[in-house]
Chains A and B, each alone.
Chain A
Protein backbone atom coordinates (compact mmCIF):
# COMPACT_ATOMS: atom_id res chain seq x y z
CA UNK A 1 0.00 0.00 0.00
CA UNK A 2 2.80 2.37 1.01
CA UNK A 3 4.76 1.38 -2.05
CA UNK A 4 1.79 2.09 -4.29
CA UNK A 5 1.37 5.48 -2.67
CA UNK A 6 5.06 6.25 -3.18
CA UNK A 7 4.75 5.21 -6.82
CA UNK A 8 1.76 7.46 -7.35
CA UNK A 9 3.57 10.31 -5.67
CA UNK A 10 6.59 9.78 -7.88
CA UNK A 11 4.35 9.89 -10.92
CA UNK A 12 2.87 13.20 -9.87
CA UNK A 13 6.33 14.53 -9.03
CA UNK A 14 7.59 13.48 -12.41
CA UNK A 15 4.85 15.39 -14.17
CA UNK A 16 5.47 18.44 -12.02
CA UNK A 17 9.16 18.16 -12.77
CA UNK A 18 8.46 18.08 -16.49
CA UNK A 19 6.55 21.33 -16.24
CA UNK A 20 9.15 22.90 -13.97
CA UNK A 21 12.02 21.88 -16.19
CA UNK A 22 10.35 23.43 -19.20
CA UNK A 23 9.91 26.69 -17.29
CA UNK A 24 13.48 26.65 -16.03
CA UNK A 25 14.84 26.01 -19.44
CA UNK A 26 13.10 29.01 -20.96
CA UNK A 27 15.63 30.73 -23.09
CA UNK A 28 16.99 34.09 -21.96
CA UNK A 29 18.43 35.51 -25.14
CA UNK A 30 21.06 38.18 -24.97
CA UNK A 31 20.39 40.86 -27.55
CA UNK A 32 22.74 42.56 -29.97
CA UNK A 33 23.19 45.81 -28.01
CA UNK A 34 24.21 43.83 -24.92
CA UNK A 35 26.80 41.91 -26.88
CA UNK A 36 28.11 45.10 -28.42
CA UNK A 37 28.39 46.62 -24.97
CA UNK A 38 30.35 43.57 -23.83
CA UNK A 39 32.65 44.01 -26.80
CA UNK A 40 33.26 47.59 -25.68
CA UNK A 41 34.29 46.29 -22.27
CA UNK A 42 31.12 47.22 -20.42
CA UNK A 43 31.25 45.15 -17.23
CA UNK A 44 27.55 45.70 -16.48
CA UNK A 45 26.66 44.19 -19.83
CA UNK A 46 28.96 41.31 -19.16
CA UNK A 47 27.32 40.79 -15.80
CA UNK A 48 23.98 40.51 -17.62
CA UNK A 49 25.39 37.79 -19.84
CA UNK A 50 26.83 36.02 -16.84
CA UNK A 51 23.53 36.11 -14.95
CA UNK A 52 21.61 34.89 -17.99
CA UNK A 53 23.75 31.82 -18.54
CA UNK A 54 25.68 31.04 -15.36
CA UNK A 55 23.28 28.44 -14.01
CA UNK A 56 23.06 26.58 -17.30
CA UNK A 57 26.82 26.54 -17.72
CA UNK A 58 27.36 25.46 -14.13
CA UNK A 59 24.64 22.79 -14.31
CA UNK A 60 26.05 21.29 -17.50
CA UNK A 61 29.54 21.15 -15.99
CA UNK A 62 28.21 19.81 -12.69
CA UNK A 63 26.36 16.96 -14.40
CA UNK A 64 29.19 16.31 -16.79
CA UNK A 65 31.52 15.75 -13.86
CA UNK A 66 29.07 13.81 -11.73
CA UNK A 67 28.39 16.45 -9.12
CA UNK A 68 31.93 17.70 -8.63
CA UNK A 69 31.20 21.27 -7.54
CA UNK A 70 34.81 22.44 -7.54
CA UNK A 71 35.35 21.33 -11.13
CA UNK A 72 32.02 22.78 -12.19
CA UNK A 73 32.91 26.12 -10.61
CA UNK A 74 36.32 26.12 -12.32
CA UNK A 75 34.77 25.38 -15.67
CA UNK A 76 32.15 28.08 -15.20
CA UNK A 77 34.87 30.61 -14.45
CA UNK A 78 37.01 29.41 -17.35
CA UNK A 79 34.12 29.67 -19.77
CA UNK A 80 33.20 33.21 -18.81
CA UNK A 81 36.79 34.32 -18.70
CA UNK A 82 37.33 32.98 -22.19
CA UNK A 83 34.08 34.56 -23.27
CA UNK A 84 35.21 37.91 -21.97
CA UNK A 85 38.56 37.66 -23.68
CA UNK A 86 37.25 36.47 -27.03
CA UNK A 87 33.89 38.22 -27.27
CA UNK A 88 35.38 40.78 -29.63
CA UNK A 89 35.65 37.94 -32.13
CA UNK A 90 31.91 37.20 -32.05
CA UNK A 91 30.49 38.46 -35.31
CA UNK A 92 26.83 37.51 -35.16
CA UNK A 93 27.26 34.81 -37.79
CA UNK A 94 25.74 32.33 -35.37
CA UNK A 95 23.55 32.53 -32.33
CA UNK A 96 25.35 33.83 -29.27
CA UNK A 97 24.23 30.78 -27.30
CA UNK A 98 25.77 28.48 -29.92
CA UNK A 99 29.08 30.22 -29.47
CA UNK A 100 28.84 30.12 -25.69
CA UNK A 101 27.95 26.45 -25.58
CA UNK A 102 30.91 25.67 -27.82
CA UNK A 103 33.07 27.17 -25.11
CA UNK A 104 31.29 25.05 -22.51
CA UNK A 105 31.66 21.89 -24.59
CA UNK A 106 35.35 22.47 -25.25
CA UNK A 107 35.99 23.28 -21.60
CA UNK A 108 34.30 20.08 -20.42
CA UNK A 109 35.95 17.85 -23.00
CA UNK A 110 39.38 19.43 -22.45
CA UNK A 111 39.11 18.98 -18.71
CA UNK A 112 37.97 15.39 -19.15
CA UNK A 113 40.97 14.65 -21.33
CA UNK A 114 43.35 16.24 -18.88
CA UNK A 115 42.08 14.21 -15.95
CA UNK A 116 43.52 10.74 -16.25
CA UNK A 117 41.96 9.31 -13.19
CA UNK A 118 39.80 10.91 -10.58
CA UNK A 119 37.51 9.95 -7.81
CA UNK A 120 34.40 11.89 -7.12
CA UNK A 121 32.68 12.05 -3.83
CA UNK A 122 29.28 13.47 -4.42
CA UNK A 123 28.69 16.33 -2.07
CA UNK A 124 25.39 17.00 -0.50
CA UNK A 125 23.85 20.01 -2.08
CA UNK A 126 20.52 21.71 -1.89
CA UNK A 127 18.49 21.41 -5.03
CA UNK A 128 17.44 24.97 -5.55
CA UNK A 129 14.39 24.44 -7.66
CA UNK A 130 12.37 21.95 -5.69
CA UNK A 131 8.78 22.90 -5.09
CA UNK A 132 8.71 24.32 -1.55
CA UNK A 133 5.26 22.84 -1.09
CA UNK A 134 6.58 19.30 -1.64
CA UNK A 135 6.71 17.07 1.35
CA UNK A 136 10.06 15.92 2.65
CA UNK A 137 9.38 12.48 1.25
CA UNK A 138 8.61 13.86 -2.21
CA UNK A 139 11.78 15.93 -2.16
CA UNK A 140 13.73 12.88 -1.14
CA UNK A 141 12.24 10.88 -4.01
CA UNK A 142 12.99 13.67 -6.46
CA UNK A 143 16.58 13.98 -5.25
CA UNK A 144 17.11 10.26 -5.51
CA UNK A 145 15.69 10.17 -9.02
CA UNK A 146 17.80 13.07 -10.22
CA UNK A 147 20.88 11.64 -8.52
CA UNK A 148 20.39 8.32 -10.28
CA UNK A 149 20.01 10.01 -13.63
CA UNK A 150 23.11 12.14 -13.10
CA UNK A 151 25.18 9.11 -12.19
CA UNK A 152 24.22 7.30 -15.37
CA UNK A 153 24.90 10.38 -17.49
CA UNK A 154 28.28 10.91 -15.82
CA UNK A 155 29.34 7.45 -16.97
CA UNK A 156 28.39 7.92 -20.60
CA UNK A 157 31.05 8.59 -23.19
CA UNK A 158 31.88 12.31 -23.24
CA UNK A 159 30.27 13.03 -26.60
CA UNK A 160 27.00 11.41 -25.55
CA UNK A 161 27.18 13.14 -22.22
CA UNK A 162 27.60 16.66 -23.55
CA UNK A 163 24.89 16.07 -26.17
CA UNK A 164 22.27 15.06 -23.66
CA UNK A 165 23.21 17.86 -21.27
CA UNK A 166 22.90 20.49 -24.00
CA UNK A 167 19.49 19.08 -24.87
CA UNK A 168 18.11 19.02 -21.36
CA UNK A 169 19.70 22.08 -19.79
CA UNK A 170 18.79 24.50 -22.53
CA UNK A 171 16.35 22.56 -24.69
CA UNK A 172 18.46 23.24 -27.75
CA UNK A 173 17.14 21.90 -31.04
CA UNK A 174 19.06 19.18 -32.83
CA UNK A 175 20.27 21.75 -35.35
CA UNK A 176 21.51 24.04 -32.57
CA UNK A 177 23.28 21.20 -30.79
CA UNK A 178 24.82 20.16 -34.11
CA UNK A 179 26.21 23.68 -34.59
CA UNK A 180 27.66 23.69 -31.09
CA UNK A 181 29.29 20.30 -31.52
CA UNK A 182 30.35 20.72 -35.14
CA UNK A 183 28.48 17.64 -36.32
CA UNK A 184 25.30 16.88 -38.24
CA UNK A 185 21.78 16.86 -36.82
CA UNK A 186 21.67 13.17 -37.70
CA UNK A 187 24.66 12.54 -35.45
CA UNK A 188 22.92 14.43 -32.66
CA UNK A 189 19.82 12.28 -33.18
CA UNK A 190 21.92 9.14 -33.06
CA UNK A 191 23.67 10.20 -29.86
CA UNK A 192 20.44 11.15 -28.13
CA UNK A 193 18.92 7.84 -29.20
CA UNK A 194 21.78 5.99 -27.55
CA UNK A 195 21.76 8.19 -24.47
CA UNK A 196 18.01 7.77 -23.95
CA UNK A 197 18.27 4.01 -24.28
CA UNK A 198 21.21 3.83 -21.89
CA UNK A 199 19.22 5.76 -19.30
CA UNK A 200 16.20 3.54 -19.80
CA UNK A 201 18.18 0.33 -19.45
CA UNK A 202 20.33 1.42 -16.50
CA UNK A 203 17.31 2.77 -14.62
CA UNK A 204 14.80 0.16 -15.72
CA UNK A 205 14.10 -0.57 -12.05
CA UNK A 206 12.38 2.83 -11.85
CA UNK A 207 10.02 2.06 -14.71
CA UNK A 208 7.36 0.61 -12.48
CA UNK A 209 7.21 3.88 -10.57
CA UNK A 210 6.07 5.83 -13.57
CA UNK A 211 2.61 5.68 -15.08
CA UNK A 212 2.73 5.24 -18.79
CA UNK A 213 -0.53 6.89 -19.67
CA UNK A 214 0.32 9.94 -21.70
Chain B
Protein backbone atom coordinates (compact mmCIF):
# COMPACT_ATOMS: atom_id res chain seq x y z
CA UNK B 1 0.00 0.00 0.00
CA UNK B 2 2.79 2.41 0.80
CA UNK B 3 5.44 1.52 -1.78
CA UNK B 4 4.65 4.71 -3.66
CA UNK B 5 4.15 8.18 -2.28
CA UNK B 6 1.60 8.44 0.48
CA UNK B 7 0.54 12.04 0.24
CA UNK B 8 -3.15 11.20 -0.05
CA UNK B 9 -3.08 9.51 3.35
CA UNK B 10 -1.34 12.31 5.20
CA UNK B 11 -4.35 14.29 6.43
CA UNK B 12 -5.90 11.09 7.73
CA UNK B 13 -2.60 10.25 9.43
CA UNK B 14 -2.37 13.72 10.93
CA UNK B 15 -5.95 13.54 12.19
CA UNK B 16 -5.54 10.13 13.81
CA UNK B 17 -7.93 8.42 11.44
CA UNK B 18 -5.69 5.49 10.52
CA UNK B 19 -5.02 2.21 12.26
CA UNK B 20 -1.88 1.68 14.32
CA UNK B 21 -0.41 -0.54 11.61
CA UNK B 22 -1.05 2.08 8.92
CA UNK B 23 0.49 4.74 11.13
CA UNK B 24 3.65 2.71 11.47
CA UNK B 25 3.89 2.27 7.70
CA UNK B 26 3.33 5.98 7.13
CA UNK B 27 6.02 6.87 9.65
CA UNK B 28 8.46 4.44 8.11
CA UNK B 29 7.80 5.93 4.67
CA UNK B 30 8.17 9.50 5.93
CA UNK B 31 11.58 8.67 7.32
CA UNK B 32 12.74 7.73 3.84
CA UNK B 33 10.82 10.06 1.53
CA UNK B 34 11.64 13.75 1.41
CA UNK B 35 8.78 14.57 -0.92
CA UNK B 36 6.18 13.09 1.41
CA UNK B 37 7.84 14.69 4.41
CA UNK B 38 7.54 18.05 2.73
CA UNK B 39 3.88 17.39 1.92
CA UNK B 40 3.25 16.34 5.51
CA UNK B 41 4.73 19.56 6.84
CA UNK B 42 2.49 21.46 4.46
CA UNK B 43 -0.60 19.56 5.57
CA UNK B 44 0.31 19.94 9.22
CA UNK B 45 0.69 23.68 8.77
CA UNK B 46 -2.65 23.85 6.94
CA UNK B 47 -4.33 21.93 9.75
CA UNK B 48 -2.93 24.30 12.34
CA UNK B 49 -4.22 27.25 10.36
CA UNK B 50 -7.68 25.69 10.16
CA UNK B 51 -7.59 25.14 13.93
CA UNK B 52 -7.53 28.90 14.37
CA UNK B 53 -11.18 29.15 13.35
CA UNK B 54 -13.23 30.51 16.21
CA UNK B 55 -16.81 29.70 17.06
CA UNK B 56 -19.17 32.64 16.70
CA UNK B 57 -22.24 33.24 18.83
CA UNK B 58 -25.44 32.86 16.86
CA UNK B 59 -27.45 36.07 17.25
CA UNK B 60 -30.58 36.00 19.40
CA UNK B 61 -32.57 37.01 16.35
CA UNK B 62 -31.96 33.51 14.94
CA UNK B 63 -34.01 31.99 17.77
CA UNK B 64 -36.71 34.61 17.50
CA UNK B 65 -37.15 33.69 13.86
CA UNK B 66 -37.52 30.03 14.76
CA UNK B 67 -39.50 30.39 17.96
CA UNK B 68 -42.71 31.54 16.32
CA UNK B 69 -43.14 28.24 14.55
CA UNK B 70 -43.57 25.97 17.62
CA UNK B 71 -46.69 27.97 18.45
CA UNK B 72 -48.29 26.76 15.25
CA UNK B 73 -49.34 23.22 16.04
CA UNK B 74 -51.62 20.71 14.45
CA UNK B 75 -54.59 19.16 16.17
CA UNK B 76 -52.40 16.38 17.57
CA UNK B 77 -49.91 18.86 19.05
CA UNK B 78 -47.23 18.25 16.46
CA UNK B 79 -45.74 21.19 14.59
CA UNK B 80 -47.56 22.04 11.43
CA UNK B 81 -45.75 21.34 8.19
CA UNK B 82 -44.97 24.40 6.13
- Which A positions have Cβ atoms within 8 angstroms of B? 14, 17-18, 21, 24-25, 39-41, 43, 46-47, 50, 54-59, 62-63, 69, 72-73, 76-77, 80-81, 84-85, 88, 125, 127-130, 142, 145-146, 149-150, 153, 164-165, 167-169, 173-174, 185, 189-190, 192-193, 195-201, 203, 206-207, 210, 212
Query: Would you give the shortest CB distance from A64 to chain B, in whole angstroms?
Result: 11
CB distance from B80 to the nearest CB of A (A): 8
Question: What number of B residues sit within 8 Å (CB to CB) of A?
Answer: 43
Q: Taking chain B's interface residues, is the majority helix, strand, or loop, or is none over half, making it mixed?
A: helix
| A46-B70, A57-B58, A127-B56 given; A174·B12 CB < 8 A | yes
A189, B39: Cα distance in complex, Å:
14
Which chain B residues border A201 with CB–CB below 8 Å? Answer: 42
In whole angstroms, what is the CA distance A190 to B12 when docked? 9
Interface string of B20-48 (1 = CB under 8 A from A): 00000000000000000001011101111
A50 touches B63 (CB 8 A): yes
Q: What residue of chain B has the Cβ atom nearest to residue A63's Cβ? A: B53
Interface residue? B19 (CB, 8 A): no
Task: Return the 7 tightest CB-CB contacts between A and B, nearest first.
Answer: A196-B46, A58-B58, A200-B46, A199-B46, A43-B70, A54-B58, A77-B65
A128 to B54, CA, bound (A): 8
* CB atoms of A189 and B17 under 8 A apart: yes
CA A167 to CA B16, docked complex, whole Å: 13
With the chains together, A81 CA to B71 CA distance in Å? Answer: 12
Contacts of B65 in A (CB 8 A): 73, 77, 81
- Chain A residues with CB below 8 A from B62, complex form: 54, 58, 73, 76-77, 80
